[in-house]
Chain A
Amino acid sequence: MSKRRPYVRPMDGWWKKNPYYVEYMVHEGTALFVAAYAIVLTFGLVRLSQGEAAWNGWLEAMKSPLSIIFHLVLLAAIVYHAFTWFKLFPLTTPPVVLNGKKVEPELIVRGGWAAAIGATVVSFVIVWGLA
């Protein structure tokens, strides 16, 4: 074992020093809410497979004020995630060239939002039709 104890720069709270990194960490933090929602859905799926009484129990649980508040928080977190994700879109896509001109990053961001709004509307209409 070496007696050397090299200096390791402490990194605690590094992301608090720059607003851009704070936003990054908040964006990453929304993953916890996405996971929570997946678990809520899976729980419902298990209750559905256990029969009508179990499913109705899950539906009742979803009506509790606590659940409603939880889902409002989930909704806010996931919308924030979607919003910031599309904001990062131009950084993750290769440069798109159309008619010999580079497509403005702003246009790509708007395209992402348009896709999200489109997906939202289409999903709602389909569910409306089924319900």
Chain B
Amino acid sequence: MAALFGPIMVFITGIAVPLGLLLPADAMSYPKMLAFAQNFIGKGFIFVAVFLFIWHAGHRIFHSLHEVGIHQGIGSKLLTYGVAAVVTVIAAVALLGLGF
């Protein structure tokens, strides 16, 4: 998921739209994004993207910490899976708060 859709998502949200490059500058205007996030498919896509990115990263960082001498324990779990869980909940609350 990160490998397939990560690059284009970063490009669109972080480079193309802010610079008005290739895509219209109002591509992420409030009415458009609200409609996207209220749409069933759009909402699902945003949630799946955030969920997979943060858990994928948390999981990999958790195992990489071992490689740099920080061994698996409560602390490293909280730092990785804990952060992933918090981010997931924040994203879910924000998405549900936007309504359908």
Interface residues of A (CB under 8 A from B): 11-12, 15, 25, 28-29, 31-32, 34-35, 37-42, 44-46, 48-49, 52, 55-56, 59, 62-63, 67-68, 70-72, 74-75, 78-79, 81-82, 85-86, 112, 115-116, 119-120, 123-124, 127-128, 130-131
Interface residues of B in 60-91 (CB under 8 A from A): 60-61, 63-64, 67, 69, 83, 87, 90-91
Contacts of A28 on B, CB cut-off 8 Å?
A: 60-61, 63-64, 67
A44-B33 Cα distance, complex, nearest whole Å = 10
Contact of A12 with B69 at beta-carbon distance under 8 Å, contacts A42-B90, A81-B2, A120-B7 already known: yes
Give the interface SS of chain B, mostly helix, strand, loop or mixed: helix
Interface residues of B in 15-59 (CB under 8 A from A): 15, 17-19, 23-24, 26-28, 30, 32-34, 36-37, 46, 49-50, 53-54, 56-58
A41: contacting residue among B49, B64, B97, CB under 8 A: B49
Closest partner residue, chain B, to A11 (CB atom): B69
Interface residues of B (CB under 8 A from A): 2-15, 17-19, 23-24, 26-28, 30, 32-34, 36-37, 46, 49-50, 53-54, 56-58, 60-61, 63-64, 67, 69, 83, 87, 90-91, 94-95, 97-98
